[in-house]
Amino acid sequence: MNTLSLRLTRRLRRFLLLAAALIIPAAAGAAPAQAAPASESEMSLYTRIAAVNVCIARGAKVEFDKAASIAGETIAQLIMGQHNGQIKQVGTKALTIEELRRGSVNSAVIGAVELCPKEVPPDVVKKVNDALKQQGGK
């Protein structure tokens, strides 16, 4: 197993542990506390999880668009379920599931470009890097 595969496998294990920690209380019927908007650190974690998902899927030869869509949907559903669609950095308005999907897919793609650029189509890498340069991000 090469180094990238080993790193991705370890990240997948950590992701699965996190997913279990989020799912088990819900399945056990635990009453959720009043949902708070997703913090900047939570959004950073969710973006990283989505990026790792894209990288793992691409390593398994899943088509890029499908990998990004699945990763984005996962994060959108997480934000909707855990934070009622609210993100602190965005403001007090809850986002719709469609708004969350668009933002989550974009975040997953940007994260994948940073984490595993060889698994992202070259034209997508270029578009992301150009957009980041325009925003002063790189």
Task: List per-residue pLDDT tens for the chain, 138 residues long.
Answer: 556 555 655 665 565 555 555 554 554 454 455 689 999 999 999 999 999 999 999 999 999 999 999 999 999 999 999 999 999 999 889 999 999 999 999 999 999 999 999 999 999 999 999 998 998 755
- CA dihedral of 111, 113, 119, 124, whole degrees rounded to 10: 120
Residue 55: half-sphere exposure toward Cβ, Cα within 13 Å: 25
Give the pLDDT score at 136.
79
Q: How does DSSP classify residue 117?
A: G
Neighbours of 137 (CB within 10 A): 10
Give the pTM. 0.71
